[in-house]
Amino acid sequence: MQTLKTLTLLLLTATLATANAQGNTVTVATANDAPTLDPNLTFSGNAFGITNQIYDSLLYRDDDGIKPRLATSWKRVTPTTWRFELRKNVKFHDGTPFNAAAVKFSFERLIDPASKAPGAYVLNIIKTIKIIDTDTIEITTSEPFAPLLAHLTHPVTAIVSPTSARKFGKDFGRNPVGTGPFEFDRWNTGNQIQLNSNKAYWGGKVQIDKLVFRIIPDIATQIVELRTGRVDLITSVPPESLNDLENNPKLAVYKKLGWGSTFLGFNTQSGITKNVKVRRAIAQAIDRDSIVKILRQGLAVKATAPVPPTVYGAGKNLNPRPYNVEAARKLLREAGVKDGTKISLVTYESAENRQLAEAIQFSLSQIGLTTSVQILDYSAYTTAVQKPNHAELFISGWGTVTLDADYALYALFHSREIPVNNNALYRNVKVDKLLLDARRSNNQADRLKLYQSAQEQIDQDLPLLALYYPLSSYAKSTRLQGEVWRYSWINLDLSNATLK
């Protein structure tokens, strides 16, 4: 009998130990694997959602403004020079001290043309980086650049360990080392990425022992895993599942207007969309209210400008472009476009984009246009829309990660960004000047006026039609507490999270 009691006690202890171990692990489901975990050499949200757990940037953006992270204070020394005081006594996961040399190394690595970093434009305004002392650095830009602080909150500007980056070279993305709350442990490609808590994190004790990102492409499977407790958080909520998830007492759903815009872009240099009347006709043929209500089922807000109102410098009182099929048909006739004219549309693979493509295809059929739709994987899509004779229409989205209009408006509409980001191939000398002037101005009131003027002109030229602003959403188990969701899953902060 004593032996049986002892065995039972041992089994119970083992069970509790297993439960406790599992209880200190948070599992997050994502639809796609990260291409790399090197923050400086990627521009993928699939990567940033994970790299933001491993690395820190100098600054970060909260609801009430820009806050210190690895930089503790900053000041403008001249119109083109900023000085940053850095956090002391911080170490990278490999034991390397964090200092001004690490900042210089990371930024120069990002903007070095040899790196071919897709996100280099975030900081390529930098002319020189000067180390004042171990904990002080000066950044000088080639011209006055008002959005610099906002750009330094971007995850592509994360500070990497110079020691490990040099040691692993091109393989650093598989061996990431930063100063963040979690350290890299292992990566089973296409399956999951596991991180462990950083026991020496400068920001304080991390309560979660392990953080696992499971790659589950099918959203329905993600929801099943969330309901059964094998996943603690999913990074987006499909509209058709919203009510069901909200009514589950074991789950909590978060939704909030974020920084994103979903749009229909026009090739302004070739095809029938070269004619602005055609672009305006197509804009009036699309019922954006129905798209928001029926397709997105309330998980979006109808767009009124290229960027949402959460973004500094968002346009106000622009042309609403009301849904009007007859007016659209009239504009097409004025443009000399006949019924049955073919038009091409391209986008990248996602359930949301497929729905949008079908809705737009139907809408255009109502004004006599026959739309051929091509859906590509994301890599093929980005290559396709950088060609001068690409499809007349394209569906895409943009997240204004810095929450400063410059980040979206300059990338999407300045002629210097053709063809990498300005896929509409849009050129307007007036808009170019307005956007440059807004970058250079230190007067915030003047910047707002300049962005308003730029967006009014863009609205007239219509290189893209903003369809809606997606609500940033996630669903989680109620046992997960203390997570912070800043506008998007790429800024998910679990450094102070706990598990019930």
Residue 351 — pLDDT band, cuts 50, 70, 90?
confident
The reported pLDDT for the residue numbered 467 is 97
Asked whether residue 314 falls in the same domain as residue 227, the answer is: no
Is the pLDDT reported for residue 49 higher than 50? Answer: yes
Residue 134, domain extent: 23-232+479-500
Closest by Cα among 65, 153, 145, 74 to 442: 145
Asked whether residue 419 falls in the same domain as residue 484, the answer is: no
pLDDT digits (tens, 9 = 90+) for 94-151: 999 999 999 999 999 999 999 999 899 899 999 999 999 999 999 999 999 999 999 9
Asked whether residue 220 falls in the same domain as residue 199, the answer is: yes
- Is 439:272 a contact under the CB 8 Å cutoff? no
Residue 418 — pLDDT band, cuts 50, 70, 90?
very high
Closest by Cα among 379, 274, 395, 271 to 345: 395
Dist. CA 330–CA 486, nearest whole Å? 44
Residue 12 falls inside a structural domain = no
Asked whether residue 161 falls in the same domain as residue 288, the answer is: no
Asked whether residue 161 falls in the same domain as residue 293, the answer is: no
Q: Which residue has the higher pLDDT, 11 or 276?
A: 276
- Is 149:407 a contact under the CB 8 Å cutoff? no
Residue 461 falls inside a structural domain = yes
Residue 244 falls inside a structural domain = no
Residue 7 falls inside a structural domain = no
Counts for the chain of helices (H) and strands (E), in that order: 15, 20
Beta strands in 52-204 (DSSP E): 59-62, 65-68, 71-78, 81-86, 126-133, 136-141, 182-188, 192-197
Is the pLDDT reported for residue 242 higher than 80? Answer: yes
Is the pLDDT reported for residue 2 higher than 80? Answer: no
Asked whether residue 427 falls in the same domain as residue 349, the answer is: yes
pLDDT digits (tens, 9 = 90+) for 445-482: 999 999 999 999 999 999 999 999 999 999 999 999 99
pLDDT digits (tens, 9 = 90+) for 275-297: 999 999 999 999 999 999 999 99
Residue 23 — pLDDT band, cuts 50, 70, 90?
low
Closest by Cα among 290, 287, 281, 289 to 367: 281
Residue 56 CB-density burial (10 A; 0-12 exposed, 13-18 middle, 19+ buried): buried
Asked whether residue 465 falls in the same domain as residue 484, the answer is: no
Mean pLDDT across the chain: 93
Is the pLDDT reported for residue 71 higher than 80? Answer: yes
Residue 253 falls inside a structural domain = no
Q: What is the CATH number of the domain that holds 97?
A: 3.40.190.10
Residue 335 falls inside a structural domain = yes
Report helix, strand or coil for 256: strand
The reported pLDDT for the residue numbered 1 is 46
Closest by Cα among 335, 24, 355 to 207: 24
Is the pLDDT reported for residue 18 higher than 90? Answer: no
Asked whether residue 296 falls in the same domain as residue 214, the answer is: no
Q: Give the orientation angle of helix 405-413 with respect to helix 429-440, to 10 degrees.
A: 150
- Is 180:52 a contact under the CB 8 Å cutoff? yes
Residue 240 falls inside a structural domain = no
Separation in Å, CA 167 to CA 97, 174, 453: 16, 12, 49
Share of the chain above pLDDT 90, in %: 90
Residue 14 falls inside a structural domain = no
- Taking residues 409-422, what's their average pLDDT? 95
Asked whether residue 71 falls in the same domain as residue 142, the answer is: yes
| Range from 20-24, 182-186, 330-334 carrying the lowest mean pLDDT | 20-24
DSSP character at residue 96:
P
Domain total for the chain?
2
Does the pTM exceed 0.85?
yes
Asked whether residue 83 falls in the same domain as residue 210, the answer is: yes
